[in-house]
Amino acid sequence: MSQAQAVAVDSTGNAYVTGWTTGGNITTQGAFQTVSPGHDAYVVKVSPSGSALVYSTYLGGTCLDSPELAGDEGRSIALDASGNAYIAGQACSKDFPSTTNAIQTTLTGTFFNAFLSVLNSSGTDMLFSTYIGGSG
Amino acid sequence: MGLDGAGNAYIAGLTHAKDFPTTTGALQLANNASDQGTGFVSKFAIPQGGKLLVHDFGLSSNLSSAAIPRGQSASATITLTPMNGFYELVSFSCSGLPNGASCDFSPISIVPGTTTSTTTLTLTTSGLTSNKEDRILPGTILALAGLVGLLGLQKRARATCVIAVALFLGVLVLNGCGGGGSSGGGGGPKPTTFTATIVGTSQTTTHTTSFTVTVN
């Protein structure tokens, strides 16, 4: 089961969708994350005609003990001029991907934190990814 | 979420945390709401050059060496340190143990939290026999040498043959004594030394730590 939560469109008409999925997504070769441990966020880039997946990747980790959230979820997506995708959402996984330039690399929330991730234009690499939040 | 043209991301949302990160001079520094949570707006200047942090773990032992009286056991504390949000089941096992030595872990596997966790290793040597095998080998070689000598002396005088047989039997008798007086240092069996390697295995990676064990 999947649910789309947000969509953005770049200047050439590619559509970027984020949301959450319980697995079974088609991922593209070389995508940032091709395996989902469970209920995770995803990011999909669709060609202007809607006929092809430019990239499709999972985004998330293993969320086992959050009573309020079934898994990581993308809630919002935006694009910069280079086609990098900025995804914001909620993460309850302790192993949500984070990067060396993150402001927060560990989950501090009892249930979940917000996250901000930046995927490169081909969906193959994470440029920035961080948890955001406190311990509430 | 919104972006500006200068690489900044703006995120708005809801938080229940009393310690949500705020910046100096912000409009509202504290979360005053009780149960409903409070809104937030955060602006991020995305730094360049970020690399994905690899989820991994480290393994260490509180012992660098252990001396165990033969037949007894020793305990070690094995510490599992998760790195970068590593969150997988790690199962423990031993390798490099000689026959007769065994290990147990309590617990046998751990899913690490955000900080370190430990398991207790019990290394048992009760099945470890005295290393008589070490002395059988030279004894056997001597015995074989005696046999060859015996065969070689077939055509010689019978008296010489008797001496050779006596030599051979003597070697066997020495061997049968278990080399009691030959190991030195008080007449006990020679210490057995080996390296105990503790292996932590998860779905994606394996790490080891080891220490030297001397069984006296």
Measured between beta carbons, the chain A residues lying within 8 angstroms of B4 are none
Residues 6+ apart with CB under 8 A from A34: A27, A57, A58
Q: Does B31 touch chain A (CB under 8 A)?
A: yes
Measured between beta carbons, the chain A residues lying within 8 angstroms of B9 are 78, 86, 88, 116, 118
Which among B2, B15, B50 has CB closest to A133? B15
At which residue do the structure tokens 């060859």 appear? B148
What's the domain range around A39? 2-132
Q: How far is A60 from chain B (nearest CA, A)?
A: 12
**Chain A with chain B: Cβ pairs closer than 8 A:** 115
Q: Give the span between the Cα atoms of A122 and A125, in whole angstroms.
A: 8
Residue by residue, DSSP assigns A69-118 as -SS-EEEEEEE-TT-PEEEEEEE--TT---BTT-S--S--SSS-EEEEEE
Average pLDDT over residues B122-134: 73
Measured between beta carbons, the chain A residues lying within 8 angstroms of B47 are 101, 128
Which among A103, A105, A136 has CB closest to B85? A105
Q: What is the pLDDT of residue B128?
A: 77
Helix B158-176 to helix B133-152 angle (10° resolution) is 170
Is A128 within 8 Å of B50 when comparing Cβ atoms?
A: yes
Q: Does B114 touch chain A (CB under 8 A)?
A: yes
Q: How far is B44 from chain A (nearest CA, A)?
A: 9
Q: Does B18 touch chain A (CB under 8 A)?
A: yes
Is B53 within 8 Å of A98 when comparing Cβ atoms?
A: yes
With the C-alpha atoms ordered A104, A106, A110, A112, is the resulting torsion angle positive or negative? positive
| pLDDT > 70: percent of chain B | 71
CATH number of A68's domain: 2.40.10.500
Split into its structural domains, chain A has a count of 1
Q: What is the pLDDT of residue B181?
A: 39
Q: Which CATH architecture has domain B56-129+189-215?
A: Sandwich (2.60)
ipTM: 0.84
Q: Does B124 touch chain A (CB under 8 A)?
A: no
Q: What is the pLDDT of residue B190?
A: 79
Residues 6+ apart with CB under 8 A from B67: B213, B214, B215, B216
Are the CB atoms for A41 and A74 separated by under 8 Å? yes
Q: What is the pLDDT of residue B188?
A: 63
Q: Give the span between the Cα atoms of B194 and A88, in whole angstroms.
A: 53
Is A101 within 8 Å of B21 when comparing Cβ atoms?
A: no
- Residues B141-188: tens digit of each pLDDT: 555 555 555 555 555 555 555 555 555 555 544 444 443 334 444 556
Is B86 within 8 Å of A96 when comparing Cβ atoms?
A: no
DSSP B46: P
| Domain ranges across chain B | 2-45, 56-129+189-215, 133-176
Mutant choice from B14, B15, B203 vs A, greatest count of A C-beta within 10 A: B15
Q: What is the pLDDT of residue B159?
A: 58
Q: What is the pLDDT of residue B71?
A: 87
Residue by residue, DSSP assigns B125-194 as -TT---STHHHHHHHHHHHHHHHHHHHHTTTS-HHHHHHHHHHHHHHHHHHHTTTTTTS-TTSSPPPEEE
pLDDT tens-place values along chain A, 136 residues long: 889 999 999 999 999 999 999 988 899 999 999 998 889 999 999 999 999 999 999 999 988 767 778 899 999 999 999 999 999 999 999 899 999 999 998 888 888 999 999 999 999 999 999 999 988 7
Average pLDDT over residues B39-65: 90
Which among A108, A128, A132 has CB closest to B46? A128
Written as six digits, the tokens of A37 are 């441990």
Measured between beta carbons, the chain B residues lying within 8 angstroms of A83 are none
Average pLDDT over residues B190-201: 92
Residues 6+ apart with CB under 8 A from A90: A69, A72, A73, A75, A112, A113, A114, A115
